[in-house]
Amino acid sequence: MKTIFWKRFKKNHLAVLGGIIVFFLFLIAILAPVVSPHDPNSIDVKNILEPPSIKHPFGTDDLGRDILSRIIWGSRISLAVGFVAVGIATVIGIILGAVSGYYGSWIDSVIMRFVDIMLSIPTFFLLLAVIAFLEPSIWNIMIVIGLTSWMGVARLVRAEFLSVKEREFVLAARTVGANDIRIIFNHILPNSIAPVLVSTVLGIAGAILVESALSFLGIGIQPPTASWGNILTTGKDNIEIAWWLSVFPGLAILVTVLAYNLLGEGIRDSIDPRLKV
- Please enumerate in sequence order all residues whose Cβ is within 8 A of that of 137, keeping only pairs 6 or more positions apart, or say none: 222
Q: Please count the CA atoms within 13 angstroms of the CA of 2 that sit on its side-chain side.
A: 0
Per-residue pLDDT tens digits for 204-240: 988 898 888 888 888 878 888 888 988 888 888 888 8
In terms of pTM, does the model score above 0.75? yes
Compute how many other C-beta atoms are within 10 angstroms of the C-beta atom of residue 175: 8
**pLDDT tens figures, 156-170:** 899 888 888 878 888
Q: Where are the beta strands (DSSP E) in 7-160?
A: none
Dist. CA 70–CA 224, nearest whole Å: 10
Euclidean distance between CA atoms 11 and 161, whole angstroms: 30
Question: What is the rounded average pLDDT of the residues 104-119?
Answer: 89
Domains of the chain plus CATH, in order, are: 2-34+66-275 (1.10.3720.10)
- Of the pLDDT bands very low, low, confident and very high (cuts 50, 70, 90), residue 258 is very high
Q: So what's the pLDDT on residue 128?
A: 78
